[in-house]
Amino acid sequence: MRALGYANAAFDLLKRSAIPPYPQFYELLYTYATGVNPSLNNRINAIFRSGISPSSDLAEALYNEFLKSDMNDRMSSVSERMHARIESVHEAIDAAMTTANAYSGSLQSAAGDLERDLGGPAMKALATRLLTETRRMQDTNRELERKLEASRDDITALQRDLDDVRRESMLDPLTKIANRKSFDEGLADAIAEARRDGTPLCLMLVDIDHFKSFNDTYGHQTGDQVLRLVAMTLKSNIKGKDLAARYGGEEFVAVLPSTDLKGAIIVAENIRKAIQAKELLKRSTNEKLGRITASFGVASFKPTDNATALIERADQCLYAAKHAGRNRVVSEAELIEIAEVSDKDVSAA
């Protein structure tokens, strides 16, 4: 529900600003709608206040400044290095083949000469020529071996770089836990496994209570510390194949494979208590900022579910937790009970 609201807000801004709905511009305004990037929001708000007419060029500049990752540049660098290394190996192989062909021709020529009755000087000259050709062949082979060895080492380093780039592309840069892309892939894999093996699966949505007010009061840097604190608390209280991710803004999510609803509620309660137990200090002044709380929605996977259906039920539970006063866990079992009570009240009336 919340994600759909962000999406609608982004499309509305695109339409009102007459900016083409290209993926990067949608990402820009979706990020603005979520409020996850305070610097971006401050800049766009200043542009709106100034009366500057939005344009594709302006949107492109903002995207490049705030959202464009260096991942593409790093991938291009790795690709260029790989291409250069392959070209070097190809050149060495071509040189070795050329030398080998020439050497083969020399051997054939020498074989023809040996069939004739050669005198001492001619035989000596032939031996000298073959020795020279053999040494040239050896030098070429050594150069090929050197380049192949260098290529092996460089390709190993390139593989490490590619692994690092991929790993970083799956992390939220602020909290260092999984990002939305990683969550989407992890949830799809978990659903496929639960459907295939018939094992339980639960999804937990977490939202920091009154985060916007906290952010406005103490500043974005302190707000960022809170986001990192919640992320680390969430990550440290799950285990095994569980996946903790930042869902957007002050929302987090946890995928809990092989966990039934009762177990997921226990995990959520442990995380809720751990967050509430931490007293916040402003690092620069040691000022006590009090405690933060979070609300939780927990839903369990059904065989007919896709990712969207499961997320929507967890979001409904989260909304119910917020509506019930925050700092609590609401599962879909409680939603069913509430609905049943409501139906009885209507029937009685």
Comparing 93-97, 133-137, 205-209, 314-318, which segment has the lowest mean pLDDT? 93-97
Question: How many domains in the chain?
Answer: 3
**Are the C-beta atoms of residues 82 and 89 closer than 8 Å to each other?**
no
For residue 35, tell me if it sits in a domain. Answer: yes
In this structure, the answer to whether residues 145 and 7 fall within a common structural domain is no
Tell me the C-alpha to C-alpha distance, in Å, between residue 190 and each of 1, 169, 256, 263, 305: 22, 20, 8, 17, 12
In this structure, the answer to whether residues 339 and 238 fall within a common structural domain is yes
Closest CA to 296 of 309, 283, 274: 274
| pLDDT-based confidence at residue 36 (cuts at 50, 70, 90) | low
Q: Which domain holds residue 161?
A: 71-169
Tokens of 229: 């604190």
Catalytic site residue from 250, 251, 332, 334: 250
For residue 263, tell me if it sits in a domain. Answer: yes
The span from the CA of 5 to the CA of 315, in Å, is: 12
In this structure, the answer to whether residues 95 and 46 fall within a common structural domain is no
Question: What average pLDDT does this structure show over 190-197?
Answer: 95
For residue 117, tell me if it sits in a domain. Answer: yes
The span from the CA of 206 to the CA of 268, in Å, is: 9
pLDDT of residue 276: 94
| pLDDT-based confidence at residue 126 (cuts at 50, 70, 90) | low
pLDDT of residue 346: 31
In this structure, the answer to whether residues 90 and 53 fall within a common structural domain is no
Tell me the C-alpha to C-alpha distance, in Å, between residue 76 and each of 33, 70, 141, 290: 31, 10, 32, 46
Comparing 78-87, 175-184, 210-219, 284-293, which segment has the lowest mean pLDDT? 78-87
| 215-261 per-position pLDDT tens digit | 888 888 888 889 999 999 999 999 889 999 999 889 999 999 999 99
Whether 181 has a pLDDT exceeding 80, the answer reads yes
The span from the CA of 290 to the CA of 74, in Å, is: 42
Q: Which residue has better confidence, 115 or 179?
A: 179
**Known catalytic residue at 250:** yes
In this structure, the answer to whether residues 164 and 184 fall within a common structural domain is no
Whether 275 has a pLDDT exceeding 90, the answer reads yes
Give the dihedral sign, CA 178/184/185/186.
positive
Q: How far apart are the first and last CA of the chain?
A: 31
* Domain end call among 19, 40, 66: 66
Type of residue at 140: T
Please give the model's pTM, rounded to 2 decimal places: 0.59
Q: Which residue has better confidence, 162 or 244?
A: 244
* Domain end call among 169, 201, 216: 169
In this structure, the answer to whether residues 136 and 277 fall within a common structural domain is no
In this structure, the answer to whether residues 232 and 332 fall within a common structural domain is yes
Q: Which residue has better confidence, 89 or 323?
A: 323
Type of residue at 7: A
**Are the C-beta atoms of residues 11 and 20 closer than 8 Å to each other?**
no
In this structure, the answer to whether residues 13 and 87 fall within a common structural domain is no
In this structure, the answer to whether residues 222 and 263 fall within a common structural domain is yes
In this structure, the answer to whether residues 157 and 296 fall within a common structural domain is no
pLDDT of residue 290: 84
For the chain, what is the largest distance between any 2 Cα atoms, rounded to a whole number of angstroms?
A: 126
